[in-house]
Amino acid sequence: MAATMKKPKMINQQVGWCPGCGHGIIQRLIAECCEELDLAERTIQVVDIACAYWSIDTLNCDGIAGPHGRCAAVATGIKKVYPDSNVYVHAGDGCSYVIGLAETCYAAQRNVPITMIVVNNGIFGMTGGQMCPATTLVGDKTVSSKKGRDSHVAGEPFDMLNIIKNYDIAYAARGALYDPKHINATKKMLKKGFENQRDKKGFSIIEILSPCPTNWKMSPVDAMEKIKNENEKVYPIKVYVDNGGEANG
């Protein structure tokens, strides 16, 4: 029998993101993982009020967009009330690592069994391409760092997973989307995150290096090359934690 690959049934509309945006690939990976693990019926998505918000219309499952940056806190609340649901966060780096840093850290500290998916595109995408203090690389030009990020003024970008891995959590890993091989590896990471939640093992965070061709002012192909040649050196693609923490739902 010939192999078939088709868009997951959970995705019931066209996507609204810019051409070449990594969010579309991530949304498909999420939908595939939920369907393959038979979790689609009890999935509740928590999206940020930013680029990730598009998937609240596109995915055929329950969803909520809480206050900006507070996705991990909202997801924690949902998980406490509906412990059998499959709650995942789909948010960007600005939400999770800048305005919502406290929420992300305390969700990890409490080891709430949710799956947190952080899209690291190194920029504040929805607001027009400002510098992200956590993830924009030194030297990258944005609308709020016209001459490139200066580490004397804005500091150095930091690897948040290096901080989060110190909490007692189930899983922390970083994937990338620049070629099909890495996309498939990222899918395995996401699946592991959903499995940890299903088995009530604890907090799982998966960061994904994703392009933002519109705000990087590059073609989609060049943006993927930039991730491969520059971003991956600062944000290594690897599994940080995989130990299965205590259930705390």
Q: Counting contacts by CB under 8 A, is residue 249 touching another protein? A: no
Q: Counting contacts by CB under 8 A, is residue 191 touching another protein? A: no
Residues paired with residue 113 on neighbouring β-strands, in sequence order: none
Residue 184 exposure: Cα atoms within 13 Å on the Cβ side: 3
Residue bearing tokens 């019931």: 12
Strand-pair category, 86-92 with 43-47: parallel
Q: Are the C-beta atoms of 70 and 22 separated by less than 8 Å?
A: no
Report the nearest approach of another protein to the CB of residue 16 (Å).
Answer: 10
Q: Are the C-beta atoms of 150 and 184 separated by less than 8 Å?
A: no
Q: Counting contacts by CB under 8 A, is residue 92 touching another protein? A: no
The backbone region for 27, taken as left when phi is positive above 0, alpha when psi lies in -120 to 50, beta otherwise, is alpha
Nearest of 138, 108, 107 to residue 122 by alpha carbon: 138
Coil, helix or strand at residue 115: strand
Report the nearest approach of another protein to the CB of residue 25 (Å).
Answer: 5
Which lies closer to another protein via its Cβ, residue 3 or residue 153?
A: 3
Report the nearest approach of another protein to the CB of residue 213 (Å).
Answer: 7
Segment lying near another protein (by CB under 8 A), choices 13-21, 41-49, 68-76, 196-204: 13-21
Q: Counting contacts by CB under 8 A, is residue 54 touching another protein? A: no
Sheet of strand 115-120: strand arrangement: 62-65, 43-47, 86-92, 115-120, 204-209, 171-176, 239-242
User: 184, 217, 243, 246: which one contacts another protein (CB under 8 A)?
Assistant: 184
Distance CA 71, CA 118 (A): 11
x/- string (CB under 8 A) for another protein, residues 204-223? ---------x-----xxx--
Q: Are the C-beta atoms of 63 and 42 separated by less than 8 Å?
A: no
Q: Counting contacts by CB under 8 A, is residue 183 touching another protein? A: yes
Which lies closer to another protein via its Cβ, residue 133 or residue 220?
A: 220
Which lies closer to another protein via its Cβ, residue 22 or residue 69?
A: 22
Segment lying near another protein (by CB under 8 A), choices 123-131, 146-154, 180-188, 229-237: 180-188
How many chain residues bind another protein (CB under 8 A)? 29
Would you tell me which residues interact with another protein (CB under 8 A)?
A: 2-7, 11, 14-15, 17-25, 28, 177, 179-180, 183-184, 213, 219-221, 224
